[in-house]
Chains A and B, each alone.
Chain A
Amino acid sequence: MSNPQLVMYEEEFQEINDVIGRLLKEANSKVIFLVDKNGQLISGVGETERFDTTSLASLTAGNIAATGGLAKLIGEKEFSILFHEGEKDNLHISIVAGRVILVVLFDSRSSLGLVRLRVKKSSEELASIFEKLMKKSEEKEKRGSSDFPFAEITDDDIDNLFS
């Protein structure tokens, strides 16, 4: 398969939330999301309950995928930063470690310059956490370690989902 499966563990989840929680404050932003390139929400901090986070994740990934396609067409690898300016709120979207998308929503209490600066620093921290995460799941896979929750499911479990 082209992409290894993304697995998230307690420890790294906490570390990731610490990093984006800090970024939220340091960048004076309203809300921050981390989204898998396939459109699945990894985590969010700030005023998350104001947003339909699932839709947001899917559209962000679609947006990154579309601009990535555009980049290839003109001979670029990818556009690693996208910026959308609204009347009140702005979106700063960037790619971390080649596979996750960092979305920062901010208003006039912050500025593009500040957000860009803080994002840069946090991205490096996030990149190393994701690297650790990938290594961890690869190792678990190699050892055939069986904390996988679905190894034991039965046909009944599956059928029950649809009842």
Chain B
Amino acid sequence: MSFINYASREINCKIVYYGPGLCGKTTNLQFVYQKTAPDAKGKMISLATETERTLFFDFLPLSLGEIRGFKTRFHLYTVPGQVFYDASRKLILKGVDGVVFVADSQEERIDANIESLENLRLNLKEQGYDLDKLPYVVQYNKRDLPGAMSVEELRRELNPTNVPDYEACATTGEGVFETLKAVAKSILVDLKKGK
């Protein structure tokens, strides 16, 4: 849940990047980190294995500026995508304000995408959240690879509720900020409604 501090005039929101192993969640955060001005970001923390797989989470704090005199901060987290890290994924979802589901566009990863999306829904439900009521966007990543499925097919399988979705190539950064903006905006609109 977002944290509003009237004393220091700050508002903090938590965004979680979810998706199957190797879909590019960490790469999304790394690109945001590289392209953000030093005064707008904190340190990026990656708790990873020796082979650079996320072990617990990546964390990147961003401060985007002020709205109506309130400093607006977003805390970006990624979960570990590998199936057996489910206990850690549940922990990262605590207090989430908005979710990005990063899908791997490659044909051979479609089952992994579907499984991860089901896992997201289930883990949210366990904590009393409903994915359909949360600020939520989908990213089809790795569009640059020759084995990528068409967006129409991906949409049919992974975005039946028609939430905002974006094509991306996280290694070059294409679509990365569009995705982030969309989820951030959706969170702020939710806050505006006073949810």
Do B75 and A157 touch (CB < 8 A)?
Answer: no
**Chain B facing A: main interface SS:** mixed
List 28 A–B pairs whose Cβ atoms lie within 8 Å, in order of A's numbering: A1-B1, A2-B127, A3-B94, A6-B1, A6-B3, A9-B6, A38-B3, A38-B14, A38-B94, A42-B5, A59-B45, A62-B56, A68-B91, A69-B91, A147-B6, A149-B11, A150-B68, A150-B70, A153-B68, A157-B67, A158-B67, A158-B185, A159-B185, A161-B72, A161-B184, A161-B188, A162-B177, A162-B181
Task: Please name 4 further chain A to chain B contacts, defined as beta carbons within 8 Å, in addition to the given A9-B6, A42-B3, A149-B67, sorted by A numbering.
Answer: A8-B4, A40-B12, A55-B45, A59-B59
List chain A positions with a Cβ less than 8 A from chain B: 1-10, 12-14, 36-40, 42, 52, 54-55, 58-59, 62, 65-66, 68-69, 147-153, 157-162
Whether the Cβ atoms of A10 and B57 lie closer than 8 Å is no
Task: Please report the C-alpha to C-alpha distance between residue A65 and residue B42 in the assembled complex, in whole angstroms.
Answer: 22
Does A58 lie within 8 Å of B45, measured CB to CB? yes
Decide if the interface of chain A is mainly helix, strand, loop or mixed: mixed
Does B128 lie within 8 Å of A5, measured CB to CB?
no
Across the interface, name the chain A residue whose C-beta is closest to B56.
A62
Interface size of B in residues (CB-CB distance below 8 Å): 45
Query: Is B7 part of the contact surface with A, judged by Cβ < 8 Å?
Result: yes
Find residues 150-195 in chain B having any chain A CB closer than 8 Å to their own CB.
177, 181, 184-185, 188-189, 191-192, 194
A157 touches B68 (CB 8 A): yes
Interface string of B129-144 (1 = CB under 8 A from A): 1000000000000000
| Set of chain B residues within 8 Å of A12, measured between Cβ atoms | 7
Contact of B69 among A40, A58, A69, A149 (CB under 8 A): A149
Candidates A4, A62, A158; contact of B91 at CB < 8 Å: A62
Could you tell me the distance in whole angstroms from the C-beta of A61 to the nearest C-beta in chain B? 8
The distance in angstroms between the C-alpha atoms of A68 and B87, with both chains bound, is 11
Q: Which 7 A-B pairs have the closest CB atoms?
A: A38-B95, A13-B7, A2-B128, A65-B91, A8-B5, A161-B64, A54-B42
